[in-house]
Structure 1
Amino acid sequence: MFKIAVLPGDGIGPEIVPEAVKVLKAVGKKYGVDFDFREGLVGGAAIDATGTALPAETLQLCRESDAVLLGAVGGPRWDNLPPAERPETAALLALRKGLGLYANLRPAYLFPALAEASPLRREIVEGTDLLVVRELTGGLYFGEKKRERTPSGEVAWDTLIYNTEEIERILRLGFELARQRRKKLTSVDKANVLITSRLWRETAERLAREYPDVELTHMYVDNCAMQLVRWPRQFDVLVMENTFGDILSDLSSVLTGSIGMLASASIGGKVALYEPAHGSAPDIAGQKKANPLATILSAALMLRVSFKLEEAAREVEAAVGRVLDKGFRTADIMSEGKTLVNTEEMGTLVRQEVEEG
């Protein structure tokens, strides 16, 4: 039996997470696997109920589980809280740190049926299949932060700091994942300006000697942003530090048709965390407009990475593909001549394809 901590969170989280659970239950029945789902509070919902974004009970639940399925956290209701108390910091960053999750994996794969959904031309996005590997517990987000008043106004700073061990472990993961795919690794940095990037590049060059079968390429982050929307097929695995990864992984969503298609996995500790790459989308919360496919595809990553159920993971991904091939769309990926469905209907369609496929 696999224990899964289910954290719906805020905004559209309580709408999209049940659809992924629905699909996982179908997988369990089809493949004879028992899943034990246990729900916990996180984010703004937890603040409202307990006064803290990550209750000790929730963190303990996650640590005692085999994997964590998270919806989304945050929203305007909690935006006026001090930065350290906001859901994005006090829940999400704290959860990653509490579980020792140092790497985020965001695959950007374009389902052929969605080639028209991207704002980029078909000939640019067709064939996109890349993986962004983002360092998750270092850099600007976790460095010293300070804000002070001076006679001439205010001054604020965030500290960008990395040590060799942090850089080496994320780069080594990038090399290993590239070895399992098409054996091409792009290391993204800003070594012409940042001294942390120089250490990053030097470490990448040293590790490359251990992976002679993997082609290593260095690319400045600004050029990489351009290349992602110019020629995404050149990329296989991209590895980068925290801030660059946050930005470029979201940018890669345009290649898939919508950020509603972008799954993610945060790994490194004993318990991995799976969540859609998008936010809580409070503007559409409660309206059943949200696309649950990123959450469902995150559940497929869970099957593959945490539970080693590769066949089941492929079944879920294939089910999503068949639903799209049949022309069903949520609002974010809707195009002329397709059938508009809501959040719950899309989850049901994928579940049915898993059952019947």
Structure 2
Amino acid sequence: MTKISTNEIDIVKSEKSRINDVDFDNLVFGRTFTDHMFYCDYVDGEWQQPKIVPYQPITIEPSARVFHYGQAVFEGMKGYKDDNGDAWLFRPNDNFERINKSAARLAIPEFPKEYFFEGLTTLLNMDKAWIKKGKGNSLYIRPFVFATEPAISASPANNYRFMIICSPAKAYYTAKLRVLFAEKYSRSANGGVGFAKAAGNYAAQFYPTNLANKKGYQQIIWTDANTHEYLEEAGTMNIFFRVNDTLITAPTSDRILDGITRKSVIQVAEDHNLKVEVRPVSVKEIKEAAANGSLKEIFGAGTAAVISPIAAFEHGGDVFELPELDNSYALQIKDHILNIQHNLSEDKHGWRFKV
């Protein structure tokens, strides 16, 4: 290993890349990781010298507070490579702002912007070969921070670790999804942490999602915790409904994640003169639209999948199959976003960030 010191980051390079051992045509999402990882520790009230080292296990004490009180938040973002071999990020400043917003809600100290971007771009340049060309190929990037202080007292930790790891990816969902509208379980509640990318939010979804899987559904569309009458967010995605020629999505709140892909979908739709309504969406409204044929599409939007069309939904024992469309809004918008991400079309909103 070769150690390099810079003003901002201490770097230890891997002696040999593992890239030649990877079958990029048969990737399983989130199971393969690049040669290096970034980390930075928070000790004595300050973020310390950031480091990049070969990807490896970490040592942490059993009493680390993350295991006992759940102080952990994360982000999901992607790197892309264009036909010229240049690497790009998509709206990374939104990810930076959101992870610090999530951290603040869990009483975790915010991470410095210069460390975030210097660490991210340095790491991606070191592992740039792992980003493959072609639409649908990407490098999934996972920044996260967790409490490391060894103490099992119920209060915010004094020590934390911020990390970035990367995983090459292809399409996340390849088939249309069948979903269940939630009637009993809730993803989040008023005044809670639903807007944050807190690790525990996802853990709490697994049990009801497992129940849905047993019924033949891949995901749940969550309803509001008070009445279960309003549709809010899917398991790992924001959700859109097309009724006739209008796209409808729920407004963000302290229950709903302010998705970066969600914001991009709304903007792209408006750029193409599609009507968009951001307002509460009731279960009753969508069931009635499905019954009378005015519900044309439902699709999820998120970093991992970009856009995930939905084929059918169930609620209250009623099952509704959605029509097959040759030129759906979902696929039109997905293609437009992918073209921006891969530097294949104009980026008039300044979303691309060159690495």
Q: TM-score, normalised by structure 1?
A: 0.22
> Whose strand proportion is higher, 1 or 2?
2
Q: Comparing both chains, which one has the higher relative contact order based on Cα–Cα distances under 8 Å and sequence gaps of 6 or more?
A: 1
